[in-house]
Structure 1
């Protein structure tokens, strides 16, 4: 038996199609229902489905009156506020192509994004780093658009370009991932295959508005079913989340593993009678952490695996009680294989996780990068670069990355990108960056460098704070006499990781 899963294709995306129209269609039947609650311990801001669609389509009109036309690209430099999803949906409602970006990007990183996609406009909040640009729509003007008359939905080919997101590449150069409008249609495979989502659910996502995990799992998917999204206000501490879950009768909780870890360490136990289960994605969920969550809450937590290029397509769910210790199995409608040398490996053997190129959720490609796109496409498959093992039931056990990519709080980060920045730091003669384990279920980015003498750590931290987004910044700096090299001259990051973790373990035991 070969490591391939295929239970038949998902229903085809209808045509003509518009992503935003699809997301807001269910809410149109219940305009007074709560679409979004923005919550804190002492305040709740409520948006109904009717108010949400009014704001979205008014903003779409504002973009068109500004002079933008379908197909134009706009870059989003906005904070963790309701403006983010409204802008994202409004752009696609009008046929524009939004580029959501993390507010944590430095001005230099934002400039790289803008140069790469050449937008017709940049939507910018005053407190978010953003380079000067000829066409900037400021926050006051953006918010004034909401009261304009509704724009009609721009309908078209579901395969046309819908939005662009950036992800780190193994070359160290962030890649612009181009997705079609049909990507939202494919996310329905998660409703049963991961979420167990129903229209009467209230899903609380602990992430920020301007994180793609929150945009998809926390907002777009609940709204597609007419369910209610609950988002904590910016700055909410994990220890406050249980009380918010209880107060707002959240039935599903979604977060990255790091949030689960902090919640379990800092929060007081709170009864959660409405909660059915938790969802985890963004990085590997340690089994011990999942077990702690179950013990504390009595509710399971279901993990999912995906990436910027194809969202989540392997997942655990309440319908599958045999997935413990694995990523789960491919969702119905997916065609997934584990490949070696272009062919599916036998069950039980390690191979590269691959997604069929026919998957409606798969990216169109890397923007203006045909060579990089072709490197990831192999015949009928898209190669994720991650390794796994499939059992006879289709469950896939994650075996790690084959390219040294790091994971920082759910963001994929290239070591080469961080190394490139640190190489310019005064005093450093060579540097290698890798992900290291500092606790049983905690990893951080570590930088190992050579220099005439050990450099002041405070100065190193100040340097990366000014040149890298926070999630890309190393948390550990270690001075070494030299860096381990292989016979071909490549830095052996794995050796650095192993040395650090052995030394760290010895220190803990002492």
Structure 2
């Protein structure tokens, strides 16, 4: 991997940068890139806000950065926000003071932010870094039950949301003994809430960034599990802040002149990857479109140079006549979150002339594998390991398998654990230990490595469903279904779908009183029920009523049998 990384460094188009761009890239990220490539030690102290963003701010003030915004937000109503690094610094320091002084939060406290793609989400990200507060994002599709679980599990002292979700927070407040402050992002006031927009007008921007260690916690993401409630994945200041230097430079191919649009929801780690850390460590502009649905016209209307979205969006895009759009600025396309179909890559190339560079990672990691700029793309492959990861295919005993043989995709963590791995599953040492096998961290994905070191995704080794890049734990859907009086028993698995890759399918054993009900109406009732009980994206798009579910001798439901049936492997 080290030799491969060095070759990439020599051959990458990034080496061909001229003048200002090359100088700036060298000044800001070369050190952190060398940490990723194991040439330098991880610094003891690191804070992304002061060590990266404020450095770009200074270069910008000195006229040594291209005239490119740091942040550019638009919506369908014609509203627009553009910030330079200087403005981002000014506003994020105000936000840090709001959190620390007005909300009374201290270093190490936790804040949950459940917001759509609004500019304040980015300010809160940076403000939490500046104040040493742990930031916990959540998708705006969370229900009151989801919010309650996250507030109780994380012991968050503050929650930030909007008018839409404020009632859900209020309905569970009495059960959240750690919650002290509620911040709302809205134009008007609301009883019992502090208004973030109003506080900007009366808060000072005089704030000194705290000194954080690279190993100090910075982020917590909730990730679904196959057999239980969502786990809390803890990332440190160094893991994400430094860990995306290499993939941002070589996979995303970012420079200070680039404008990157990543379509990910703010509740998912891909938003942190491609809408915060990777572009900003490279001095690029983060472009955000707060649109209700994806529109290809956005790519032609704005000077976007780098585009990242889930395979689902590419599958939908290639069904349009893309030749009617002029993507004048677009030069680099990325994909992640789920496996990309080779035929979609081919159609995209035919219609746009551009390749799609696929990458692979998890909530627990930074980019594990990627098709780097300048590499030969093998359609359907995840690419090669990204430094500092040593990626291998192992068997269930932790032994590396021969080339071409299927096994578990794993990362070597002994004798030294890569700094850009998650710190732990918070308050869950059993789960933290369970993902290790011998000298390796096991991703939970199955794959094959070819003779050139390319990794090929085969499927999940657990029951997680990956639909349009949304990771869904079957346990949560089954728990929602069982609350309906018609459901006596259920099993939830993935089912193939031509657009979303896979969707949620529920096999349901009905209670005797509902056996004679109209199946179509009952299906619709159950789907609406799940949407109300848990996040709407988790509802079963397919439902099949059965008389019994396959089980082991001990009575455990065999989801694998049902999943294999769906995928034609029975």
TM-score, L = length of structure 1: 0.91
How far residue 215 of structure 1 moved from its aligned partner, in angstroms, is 2.8
Moved over 6 A (4+): 4-7
How far residue 295 of structure 1 moved from its aligned partner, in angstroms, is 1.4
Seen in structure 2, the aligned counterparts of structure 1 residues 220 and 39 have a Cα distance that, compared at 3 Å, is: same
Seen in structure 2, the aligned counterparts of structure 1 residues 413 and 10 have a Cα distance that, compared at 3 Å, is: farther
Seen in structure 2, the aligned counterparts of structure 1 residues 11 and 281 have a Cα distance that, compared at 3 Å, is: farther
Residue ranges of structure 2 left out of the alignment (5+ in a row): 7-36, 62-66, 174-178, 187-194
- Secondary structure in 2 matching 1:450: strand
Contact 1:385–1:401 at 8 Å: present in 2 too? yes
The match for 1:47 among 83, 103, 125 is 83
The match for 1:226 among 283, 307, 313 is 283
Seen in structure 2, the aligned counterparts of structure 1 residues 145 and 210 have a Cα distance that, compared at 3 Å, is: farther
Contact 2:70–2:84 at 8 Å: present in 1 too? yes
Q: Which residue of 1 aligns with 2:43?
A: 14
Q: d(CA) in 2 for partners of 1:163 and 1:441? A: 29
- Secondary structure in 2 matching 1:150: coil
Q: How many corresponding residue pairs?
A: 498
How far residue 200 of structure 1 moved from its aligned partner, in angstroms, is 1.0
Q: Please say which of residues 66-75 and 212-221 is displaced more in the overlay.
A: 212-221
How far residue 299 of structure 1 moved from its aligned partner, in angstroms, is 0.3
Q: Which residue of 2 aligns with 1:135?
A: 181
Given the alignment of the two structures, is residue 247 of structure 1 paired with residue 306 of structure 2, yes or no?
A: no
- Secondary structure in 1 matching 2:312: helix
Normalized per residue, which structure has more strand?
1
Q: Please say which of residues 273-282 and 7-16 is displaced more in the overlay.
A: 7-16
Given the alignment of the two structures, is residue 116 of structure 1 paired with residue 153 of structure 2, yes or no?
A: yes
Matches within 5 A, 1:260-409: 260-266=314-320, 268=322, 269-340=324-395, 341-357=397-413, 358-409=417-468
- Secondary structure in 2 matching 1:361: coil
Seen in structure 2, the aligned counterparts of structure 1 residues 379 and 5 have a Cα distance that, compared at 3 Å, is: farther
- Secondary structure in 1 matching 2:493: strand
Contact 1:172–1:418 at 8 Å: present in 2 too? no
- Secondary structure in 2 matching 1:272: coil
Q: d(CA) in 1 for partners of 2:143 and 2:40? A: 41
Q: CA RMSD in A?
A: 2.4
- Secondary structure in 2 matching 1:79: coil
Contact 1:185–1:360 at 8 Å: present in 2 too? no
How far residue 167 of structure 1 moved from its aligned partner, in angstroms, is 0.2
Q: d(CA) in 1 for partners of 2:502 and 2:4? A: 31
Q: Please say which of residues 268-277 and 288-297 is displaced more in the overlay.
A: 268-277
Q: Please say which of residues 158-167 and 420-429 is displaced more in the overlay.
A: 420-429
Residue ranges of structure 1 left out of the alignment (5+ in a row): 504-510
- Secondary structure in 2 matching 1:182: helix
Seen in structure 2, the aligned counterparts of structure 1 residues 6 and 145 have a Cα distance that, compared at 3 Å, is: same
Given the alignment of the two structures, is residue 36 of structure 1 paired with residue 57 of structure 2, yes or no?
A: no
Q: Which residue of 2 aligns with 1:65?
A: 101
Q: Which residue of 1 aligns with 2:20?
A: none
Contact 1:77–1:123 at 8 Å: present in 2 too? yes
Q: Which residue of 1 aligns with 2:216?
A: 160
Contact 1:6–1:335 at 8 Å: present in 2 too? no
Q: d(CA) in 2 for partners of 1:209 and 1:366? A: 21
How far residue 403 of structure 1 moved from its aligned partner, in angstroms, is 0.9
Q: Which residue of 2 aligns with 1:80?
A: 117
Contact 2:222–2:232 at 8 Å: present in 1 too? yes
